[in-house]
């Protein structure tokens, strides 16, 4: 097994747990849509939101999930059949309006309290140590994320890790992760690129790209995915289901059973 030349890592749900930030931003956006809601979320709502967050594909669905939970939808029914558009209609809102509210409250939070916003992110146990061991080594580590690159660099810098501008492909890159991986391969050997991501759909999208056949794909079991996603990955000939314990070990241990 050849070691990778490039290790591409998703950020949220792989390196960093942004659940506090998701929930707080979603709650603030929900309150813009439902001004009668209390300033602080009811006890227990965070935990219920966190368990169902893997269902969310786009940001606008997060305030909608809060609405569904506030309306009394059960965890089991939402897990079985998450219908964001139906709940959106129940909220009497549009995707655009919810998405805009979410962007606005996030921008305001960052503008007024960037330190607090950054502090609502937590790196998963062992991740920073793992990245430190890779730093300066032969493997080029890049972050491929839908978060803005500057926030990724700031969050990593707070942990004493510096990634170059060229090694963070953030939201501003405005292209699917599949396209970023193609650029990283750049006509070279795709088997030398390894990609760790917590969203199964993103890995499935990469799988459909012929020029990326051979790139190693890992689903981060500790991230925002469901038991169903993990079962799919376990039975997938291409995708490797990676645990956080294995992530912390040497790269060769990721693919050795």
Q: Rule CB under 5 A: which residues touch Mg ion?
A: 10, 12-13, 198
For Mg ion, the closer CB: 12 or 21:
12
Report the residue closest to Mg ion, judged by CB.
13
For Mg ion, the closer CB: 202 or 212:
202
**Whole-angstrom distance, CA of residue 247 vs CA of residue 129:** 11
Query: Closest approach of Cβ 180 to Mg ion, in Å?
Result: 14
**Whole-angstrom distance, CA of residue 91 vs CA of residue 96:** 13
Query: Closest approach of Cβ 143 to Mg ion, in Å?
Result: 11
For Mg ion, the closer CB: 24 or 198:
198
Query: Closest approach of Cβ 177 to Mg ion, in Å?
Result: 10
Sequential DSSP letters for 145-207: -SS-HHHHHHHHHTTT----GGGEE-GGG-S-HHHHHHHHHTTS-GGGEEEEES-HHHHHHHH
Nearest to 62 by CA among 99, 91, 36, 112: 99
What sign does the CA torsion over 254, 22, 117, 172 have?
positive
Query: Closest approach of Cβ 136 to Mg ion, in Å?
Result: 26
**Whole-angstrom distance, CA of residue 98 vs CA of residue 251:** 41
Q: Is 61 exposed, middle or buried (0-12, 13-18, 19+ CB in 10 A)?
A: buried
For Mg ion, the closer CB: 13 or 84:
13
For Mg ion, the closer CB: 198 or 229:
198
Query: Closest approach of Cβ 201 to Mg ion, in Å?
Result: 11
For Mg ion, the closer CB: 184 or 196:
196
239 close to 219: Cβ distance less than 8 angstroms: yes
Query: Closest approach of Cβ 220 to Mg ion, in Å?
Result: 8
């Amino acid at each position: 097994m050849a070691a990778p030349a490039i290790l591409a890592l998703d950020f949220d749900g792989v390196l960093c747990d942004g659940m506090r930030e998701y929930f707080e931003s979603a709650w603030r956006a929900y309150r813009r849509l439902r001004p009668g809601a209390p300033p602080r979320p009811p006890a227990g709502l965070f935990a219920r939101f966190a368990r169902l967050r893997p269902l969310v594909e786009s940001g606008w669905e997060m305030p909608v999930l809060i609405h569904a939970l506030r309306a009394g939808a059960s965890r089991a029914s939402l897990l079985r059949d998450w219908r964001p558009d139906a709940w959106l209609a129940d909220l009497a809102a549009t995707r655009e309006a919810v998405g805009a509210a979410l962007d606005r409250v996030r921008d305001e939070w960052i503008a007024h309290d960037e330190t607090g916003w950054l502090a609502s992110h937590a790196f998963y146990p062992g991740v920073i140590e793992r990245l430190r061991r890779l730093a300066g080594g032969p493997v080029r580590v890049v972050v491929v994320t839908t978060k803005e690159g500057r926030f990724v660099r700031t969050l990593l810098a707070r942990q004493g890790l510096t990634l170059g501008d060229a090694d963070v492909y953030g939201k501003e890159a405005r292209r699917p992760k599949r396209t970023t991986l193609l650029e990283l391969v750049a006509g070279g050997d795709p088997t030398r690129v390894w990609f760790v991501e917590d969203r199964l759909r993103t890995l499935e999208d990469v799988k459909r790209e012929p020029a990326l056949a051979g790139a190693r794909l890992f689903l981060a079991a500790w991230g925002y995915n469901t038991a169903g996603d993990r079962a799919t990955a376990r039975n997938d000939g291409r995708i490797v289901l990676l645990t956080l314990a294995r992530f912390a070990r040497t790269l060769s241990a990721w693919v050795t059973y």
